[in-house]
Amino acid sequence: MPATVILGAQWGDEGKGKLVDRMAEQATWVARFQGGNNAGHTVVLGEQVLKFHLLPSGITRKECHLVLGDGMVIDPWVLDKELTDWQASTGEDPRGDRLFISERSHIILPYHRYMDSLDTKIGTTGRGIGPTYADKINRIGLRFGDVAEVLGDDVWLTTTVDRMNASLDAAGSSDRVSMESMANDLQWIHETYTSSIGNTGLMLDNALKLGEHVILEGAQGCLLDIDQGTYPFVTSSVTSRGNASHGAGIHPGHVEDVVGITKAYITRVGHGAMPTELNDEVGEHMGTIGHEFGTTTGRPRRCGWFDAVVMRHAQRINGFTGLALTKLDVLGGLDELKICVAYELDGKEITELPSTASAIARCKPIYISMPGFPELPLSEWLAMALYANESRKGISVLPTAAQHYIAKLEAIVGVPCTSVGVGPDRDATIDCV
């Protein structure tokens, strides 16, 4: 079977974890290919709410092998905490059994978190992601496969600690790294993860050659892509389709389906312009009903109407073969629904996303309006989804206005919906037929 890529099509937080968890039932491998614990994926299984930052969302499917891929930056202490919590709740430690860490992935060290804590401009998560990627690009980073090579190398240790402390001093930080702490950290990382470090790209390539189904799980969203996002208010990695296979260590010919996940509205965390942002009762409704708080940071998410300009850009970059629409239920109870189809920029109408943050900040949304649909309790939405999938009636079970809204989004973006989420539960998703 070919690989399937699952990507965020907006500014992240679209519901990738829920979709990956659901699709992983039919998969043998789920691999993360970029980012680190600045991601937050939530999976709801009845009354149980699972939140992952590094572990692929396919971990809930015991038959799935899990990969932290070449393009990731990984905090070994955060990963250990997630694995410890998982073992406490399930009795399973997947390290070296079904969880594998790429020998090419880079390590987030305390130094990187110290540097990231100095950010006041971008609104990062402060998890050390950017500084680790910076060291990677500067070719001075530490990869998981390198740890065994530098253990006991006093020259490397001295040079690295001196460089880190000089950088902290120049940046105005009072934090420092000691030789002893660095040596101890390296030894702990080696002892904790040596059984799970390997050539994960080769593992995935072999699995695909054997006809196994691989899911490549993206983090963040297209508009946070370092190259194609709303720079400089972006993350530090390539979040889009072009990096999915590369960051996993396989060739792009393996990929056939690319699912773009988008909310029925739009949200954003952190700094940077968001043209359809709502600072009114409708935005409050979306935030309250949608429980719009960051999984990683807990920060309130900014909410706004669906932005087709953003989606048009995301589609051009990623070539989605299908859209997974999430949180349709959140719009229930609003009399009028709006869709941004263009911007007004300096008196001119435009339909494509500007490249500069200052231009985006001057954009005013141009809307079309559609009728809303009733608000329903989550139990009713869940029952509707279960019935829709059991009867294979798809979205025809939804309120008529909701069906029209979905059809309009499909027509504007030019991509069919493959599923529609109507609640946080794993089963509150309607397969489009």
Residues spanned by the domain of 87: 3-255
Check whether residue 211 and residue 326 sit in a common domain.
no
Between 165 and 269, where is the model more confident? 165
Map the chain to HEC letters. CCEEEEEECCCCCCCHHHHHHHHHHHCCEEEECCECCCCCEEEEECCEEEEECCCCHHHHCCCCEEEECCCEEECHHHHHHHHHHHHHHHCCCCECCCEEEECCCEECCHHHHHHHCCCCCCCCCCCCHHHHHHHHHCCCCCEHHHHHHHCCCHHHHHHHHHHHHHHHHHHCCCCCCCHHHHHHHHHHHHHHHCCCEECHHHHHHHHHHCCCCEEEECCCCHHHCCCCCCCCCCCCCCCCHHHHHHHHCCCHHHEEEEEEEEECCEEECCCCCCCCECCCHHHHHHHHHCCCECCCCCCECEEECEEHHHHHHHHHHHCCCEEEEECHHHHCCCCEEEEEEEEEECCEEECCCCCCHHHHHHCEEEEEEEECCCCCCHHHHHHHHHHHHHHCCHHHHCCHHHHHHHHHHHHHHCCCEEEEECCCECCCEEECC
Check whether residue 309 and residue 342 sit in a common domain.
yes
Please tell me the distance from the alpha carbon of residue 349 to that of residue 70, in angstroms, as a whole number.
42
Check whether residue 289 and residue 232 sit in a common domain.
no
Check whether residue 116 and residue 213 sit in a common domain.
yes
Check whether residue 51 and residue 150 sit in a common domain.
yes
Write out the two tokens for 147.
């740890």
Query: 92 pLDDT exceeds 80?
Result: yes
The owner of tokens 């030894």 is 187
> Is 430 within a domain?
no
Check whether residue 280 and residue 385 sit in a common domain.
yes
Check whether residue 246 and residue 269 sit in a common domain.
no
> Is 25 within a domain?
yes
- The residue out of 221, 255, 289 marking a domain boundary is 255
Let me know: does 30 contact 58? Beta carbons within 8 Å.
yes
Place 296 in a pLDDT band, splitting at 50, 70 and 90.
low
> What tens digit of pLDDT does each residue of 33-49 get?
999 998 777 777 666 77
Active site residue 41: yes
Between 384 and 41, where is the model more confident? 384
Q: According to the model, what pLDDT value does residue 295 have?
A: 63
Query: 221 pLDDT exceeds 80?
Result: yes
> Is 271 within a domain?
yes
- The residue out of 223, 255, 287 marking a domain boundary is 255
- The residue out of 216, 231, 255 marking a domain boundary is 255
Residue range 60-88: mean pLDDT, rounded? 95
Check whether residue 53 and residue 102 sit in a common domain.
yes
Check whether residue 174 and residue 83 sit in a common domain.
yes
Q: Which residues contact 95 (CB under 8 A, 6 or more apart)?
A: 83, 193, 195, 196
Q: According to the model, what pLDDT value does residue 382 have?
A: 96
Q: Which residue in 13, 21, 225, 425 is the catalytic one? A: 13
Query: 154 pLDDT exceeds 70?
Result: yes
Check whether residue 82 and residue 226 sit in a common domain.
yes
Let me know: does 294 contact 124? Beta carbons within 8 Å.
no
> Is 429 within a domain?
no
Q: According to the model, what pLDDT value does residue 298 have?
A: 72
Query: 123 pLDDT exceeds 80?
Result: no
Q: What is the CA radius of gyration of the chain?
A: 22
Share of the chain above pLDDT 70, in %: 97
> Is 432 within a domain?
no
Check whether residue 232 and residue 373 sit in a common domain.
no
Q: Which residue in 21, 41, 246, 329 is the catalytic one? A: 41
Number of domains in the chain: 2
> Is 320 within a domain?
yes
Q: According to the model, what pLDDT value does residue 17 have?
A: 85
Domain with residue 99: its CATH number is: 3.40.440.10
Query: 403 pLDDT exceeds 90?
Result: yes
> Is 431 within a domain?
no
Residue range 316-329: mean pLDDT, rounded? 97
Domain with residue 265: its CATH number is: 3.90.170.10
Q: According to the model, what pLDDT value does residue 52 have?
A: 85
Please tell me the distance from the alpha carbon of residue 419 to that of residue 411, in angstroms, as a whole number.
15
Q: Which residues contact 2 (CB under 8 A, 6 or more apart)?
A: 208, 254, 255, 256, 257
Please tell me the distance from the alpha carbon of residue 346 to that of residue 332, in angstroms, as a whole number.
34
Query: 68 pLDDT exceeds 90?
Result: yes
Check whether residue 339 and residue 359 sit in a common domain.
yes
> What tens digit of pLDDT does each residue of 163-204 get?
999 999 999 999 999 999 999 999 999 999 999 999 999 999
> Is 428 within a domain?
no
79 backbone dihedrals φ, ψ, rounded to 5°: -60, -40
Active site residue 205: no
